Amino acid sequence: MAELFSGALAAAPSLGLTLLAFLFVLLVVVFVHEMGHYLVGRWCGIGVKTFSIGFGRELAGFNDRHGTRWKLSAIPLGGYVQFVGDAGATSEPDAEEMEKLTEAERKVAFHLAPVWKRAATVFAGPLFNFLLTIAVFTVMFSIYGRFVSDPMVASVRDGSPAQAAGLMPGDRFLSVDGNKVETFGDVQGYVSARAGEPIVFVILRDGKEISLIVTPRLEEQKDALGNVIKLGLIGVVNDEKGGKPRVIELNPAQALVEGVSETWSIIARTGFFLKRFVVGREDKCQLGGPVKIAGMAGKAAEKGFDWLIQLIALLSVGIGFLNLLPIPPLDGGHLLFYGIEAIARRPVSARIMDYVYRTGFVLVLAFMGFVLWNDLFAC
């Protein structure tokens, strides 16, 4: 019993750090997302009733001079901006609420604004998430530079797909599936997302270009935070013969270009992963919910503040991407309706909108339940 008590005391600081780090990461990402909606909405002349970090019962809050209620709520797993005329946190139109609006309120009501203003306001949330990621990467590249390795093969693992295909030490990668590669990281990024798919490599060997087809194999590895992940590998090592990492120093403008490029690369890989996941070609355990994110936040915090900031950048771009999926009540679902409205020159009927919103809400809840089940029981 004494040992158990001592162990619990020893684990407490780690648990506390994990919870604090998780809340910090989540609150920053949510705040930036909702601030995007708020700022662009205000710029478009739309009235804001509530800016909430979290859902449920209000813990603390205040009213600003514009009449907006800023509050912190009990359940910190998200947030929302409620505009004038909204039915609630999901920005659905409320017919009864709209009838009660004064003439002054109707001038700033969200659902009476031109469709381009509503679309801009909704898109601003994910856009600010992407901008946050770009900003973090830009600062990191400016401070630390970029670590790169030449796309060289130092050694080939026995029994690996690379060995079976004929790759040899000293080979230099030139392209993968027709895409030019400049660093070993370019090769890794492409290969890791394509387990089970034949890839055409063009390599340079003894001054000659050779084409080889290699099919990556899904294998387990540990990432920088010690998490076990599954990804496609071909079985080559890059740590000799010119493959050692070197640092490229970047000025602010170059760092910005690299930050945009890195953010776009993550967006593209995320989209490719989801497409493969839908057709059953990705491991379900690669999807993480709040428990997994909390664990990653705790590990990142133990490594240092810069690791925590990088986790914020990765989570931010992921949240931005997921919110653009065309599923109500996500931002992408709203944008889909606005696109239909712009083409048809009239809003989607309230009955259809209500049905789609209810269906989408069930899908979102089911997805959240799925990733939580993964976190707690399946993975």
The first and second tokens of residue 273, run together, are 């992963």
Residue partners of 148: CB distance under 8 A and separation at least 6: 182, 183, 184, 185, 245, 246, 248
Query: Which residue in 3, 34, 92, 103 is the catalytic one?
Result: 34
The first and second tokens of residue 316, run together, are 């931010």
Residue partners of 182: CB distance under 8 A and separation at least 6: 148, 151
Catalytic residue flag (residue 197): no
Please give the backbone phi and psi of residue 120, each rounded to the nearest 5 degrees, phi first: -65, -40
User: What single string gives the DSSP state of each residue in 116-141?
Assistant: HHHHHHHHHHHHHHHHHHHHHHHHHH
Tell me 93's DSSP state: B
How much of the chain is helix, strand and coil, in % rounded to 5? 55, 20, 25
Q: Which contacts (CB < 8 Å, 24+ apart) does range 178-183 have?
A: 181/151, 182/148, 182/151, 183/148, 183/149, 183/150, 183/151
Strands of the chain (E only): list them: 48-63, 69-83, 146-148, 155-156, 172-176, 179-180, 199-205, 208-214, 217-222, 228-233, 236-237, 246-248
C-alpha 124/C-alpha 39 separation (Å) is 8
Please give the backbone phi and psi of residue 267, each rounded to the nearest 5 degrees, phi first: -60, -45
Closest to 289 (Cα-Cα) out of 185, 374, 379, 231: 374
Report, as residue numbers or ranges, the catalytic residues: 34
